[in-house]
Amino acid sequence: MAKKKTASLTRKLTESEQDLLSQLERGYQLETDSLGANPVLRRLKDGEVIRPLSARTPAQSRPWRSEG
């Protein structure tokens, strides 16, 4: 039953939301500055940082890209 509910929920998410959710499932943590701006994803095991596409170049297609 839980899998059906999850599958139904992910169909309602935008592509950006689905990508963010998949990054969180891979061990990344969403962080922002004290005002809630400048979001980044940080992998806890090694500190790798991923910034949103809006903070990088508009030519890239995925919303979150690795710094490395």
> What pLDDT digit, counting tens, does each position of 2-58 carry?
556 665 666 788 888 888 899 999 999 999 888 888 889 999 999 999 887 766 555
Region label for 31, one of left (φ > 0), alpha (ψ between -120 and 50) or beta (otherwise): beta
Res 26: pLDDT: 92
Residue 44 lies in a domain: yes
Residues 6+ apart with CB under 8 A from 45: 27
What is the model's pTM? Answer: 0.59
Residue 13 lies in a domain: no
Q: Beta strand 64-66 with 28-31: parallel, antiparallel or unpaired?
A: unpaired
Residue 23 lies in a domain: no
The boundaries of the domain holding residue 62 are 28-68
Res 34: pLDDT: 86
Residue 43 lies in a domain: yes
| Long-range contacts at 48-55 (CB < 8 A, ≥ 24 apart) | 50/23
